[in-house]
A and B are shown apart, each in its own frame.
Chain A
Amino acid sequence: GENVEQHPSTLSVQEGDSAVIKCTYSDSASNYFPWYKQELGKGPQLIIDIRSNVGEKKDQRIAVTLNKTAKHFSLHITETQPEDSAVYFCASGNFNKFYFGSGTKLNVKP
């Protein structure tokens, strides 16, 4: 089955700095790559996603890049704010079967 690896497991940045989280996947058939934000006591919330026919997607301060050849994708958050502090999960999907990474705990220090 698919194997998704996510790094780093924890990330601490100063408010206003950028944060980058990286994931790799193993199944070349995967064609959908969502990123979820999970706050304490809540379910994962989709923040951005990208499909395999696109190399980059941006939504305000958040961007995702995908390199299908290398089988890796990354989440970029610019101008981080304290409310960005949460656990972020990447996932790879193929026809509605999702495999999740182990999560990155992001701490944005004011």
Chain B
Amino acid sequence: EAGVAQSPRYKIIEKRQSVAFWCNPISGHATLYWYQQILGQGPKLLIQFQNNGVVDDSQLPKDRFSAERLKGVDSTLKIQPAKLEDSAVYLCASSQHPERTDTQYFGPGTRLTVL
């Protein structure tokens, strides 16, 4: 079974520029998550989708971050404009059963450096 795919793996941008990350979850997984992992810390949830609807975006800085999951499969996370403090690894995860607490499977992440 293929795992969670993410691209790009690395991205370097200047502050105030825009950037977008892409995620393809495990086939059949209804729930998709975007996490931010700052160096030396655990992952922090940014947004959670169930199919193509948002379940939780309470930790998403909505003035600069946006995310969508059209057709309930792939998802993109965008930052516009980027700040220095956005430098982090952005992890995508997916889980199968939305009706109960379920294992989350993570992708390899995208390491973003903002200069």
> Which chain A residues have a beta carbon within 8 Å of chain B's beta carbons?
4, 6, 31-32, 34, 36, 41-46, 49, 51, 89, 91, 93-98, 100-103
Query: In whole angstroms, how far apart are the Cα atoms of A101 and B44 in the complex?
Result: 10
Identify which of B11-19, B61-69, B70-78, B103-111 touches chain A: B103-111
Question: Max chain B CB contacts within 10 Å: which of A36, A41, A43, A97?
Answer: A43
* Prevailing SS type, chain A contact patch: strand
Residue pair A103, B41 in contact (C-beta under 8 Å): yes
Counting contact residues on chain B (CB < 8 A from A), the size range is 20 to 34
Q: Closest B residue to A43 by CB, please name it.
A: B106
Contact pick for A103, options B4, B40, B55, CB 8 Å: B40
Other A-B pairs, 15, CB within 8 Å; known A6-B42, A96-B95 = A31-B101, A34-B104, A42-B108, A43-B93, A43-B107, A46-B103, A46-B105, A89-B43, A91-B42, A93-B101, A96-B48, A96-B104, A97-B48, A98-B45, A100-B42
Q: Closest B residue to A52 by CB, please name it.
A: B101
Residue pair A43, B48 in contact (C-beta under 8 Å): no
Would you list 15 pairs from A and B whose C-beta atoms are within 8 A, ordered by A residue?
Answer: A6-B42, A31-B101, A34-B104, A43-B107, A46-B103, A89-B42, A96-B48, A96-B101, A97-B45, A98-B45, A98-B104, A100-B43, A101-B42, A102-B42, A103-B41
